[in-house]
A and B are shown apart, each in its own frame.
Chain A
Amino acid sequence: QQQVKQSPQSLIVQKGGISIINCAYENTAFDYFPWYQQFPGKGPALLIAIRPDVSEKKEGRFTISFNKSAKQFSLHIMDSQPGDSATYFCAALITGYALNFGKGTSLLVTP
């Protein structure tokens, strides 16, 4: 059973637009929510992460919005660039255990 549900599966955005990827979870014991970015032929790499006691975290053009009551969190990529084209995974962690990943979103930013 997928513990973290991610949508959409694929996304096409024009250069300069906003990319939005959504994730939902059920287990309220999760205490850490990272996003990983993966380019073709490479392993995933940490992009940005948030704790459940914070509603928003911003790093450059990347922002995580977190809604604890709805058990949802999302990644916003502002001013999307062709170099952002990659697969994005949301994940959730319970302290002391391994990460649970969403199924991933393939993002294509067109010029």
Chain B
Amino acid sequence: NAGVTQTPKFRILKIGQSMTLQCAQDMNHNYMYWYRQDPGMGLKLIYYSVGAGITDKGEVPNGYNVSRSTTEDFPLRLELAAPSQTSVYFCASSYSGGGPSGANVLTFGAGSRLTVL
């Protein structure tokens, strides 16, 4: 049981380049999320999905795109990389997105560290 798998772990991009951060979960979770973590700023939600074919913007969606064609996968695309997108990106998943139940626990991946130069 791998949980949430993110690839790549590290990547350096040049300004204007594009790339996709991959995220896959094998827990049959309905909800998936992308967060970015910057020093001293906590975790900010970029996009989330409540199921295949359904995505919604979070707090900081500009410069990113997502798709959810399957339950397992939730890739995050950066179209025109900018230095402001230098960050650590975390993908997470949960069985359900709401309510104070055990099913709401988020499982995080190990993160992808992206540097844009």
The interface residues of chain B lying within 8 Å CB-to-CB of A43 are: 4, 90, 92, 108-111
Q: Are B108 and A44 in contact (CB under 8 A)?
A: yes
Q: Is B42 an interface residue (CB 8 A)?
A: yes
Query: Are B43 and A31 in contact, with the CB atoms below 8 A?
Result: no
- A51 and B100 within 8 A (CB): yes
- With A32-B104, A98-B33 as contacts: A103 and B97 at CB distance below 8 Å: no
Chain B neighbourhood of A103, CB < 8 A:
40-42
Residue ranges of B at the interface with A (Cβ–Cβ < 8 Å): 4, 33, 35, 40-45, 48, 58, 90, 92, 97-100, 104-106, 108-111
Q: Is the CB of A9 within 8 A of B109?
A: no
User: Within residues 73 to 111 of chain A, which ones have a CB less than 8 A from any CB in chain B?
Assistant: 89, 93-99, 101-104
A12 interfacial contact with B, CB 8 Å: no
Using a Cβ–Cβ cut-off of 8 Å, how many residues does chain A contribute to the interface with B?
27
Total residue contacts A-B, CB cutoff 8 A: 62
Question: B106 touching A101 by the CB < 8 A rule?
Answer: no
Beta-carbon contact of A98 and B42 below 8 Å: no
B110 touches A42 (CB 8 A): yes
Q: Is the CB of B106 within 8 A of A99?
A: yes
- Give min CB distance, B38 to chain A, whole Å: 10
Which residues does A use to contact B, with CB under 8 Å? Answer: 2, 6, 9, 31-32, 34, 36, 41-46, 49, 51, 89, 93-99, 101-104
Q: Are B90 and A98 in contact (CB under 8 A)?
A: no
**B40 contacts A44, C-beta separation under 8 Å:** no
Apart from A31-B100, A98-B97, 17 more pairs, CB < 8 Å: A34-B105, A41-B111, A42-B111, A44-B43, A44-B90, A45-B108, A46-B106, A49-B105, A89-B43, A95-B99, A96-B98, A97-B98, A98-B45, A98-B58, A101-B35, A101-B44, A103-B42
Q: Which residue of A lies closest to B48 (CB)?
A: A98
Bound-state Cα–Cα, A41 to B113, Å: 10
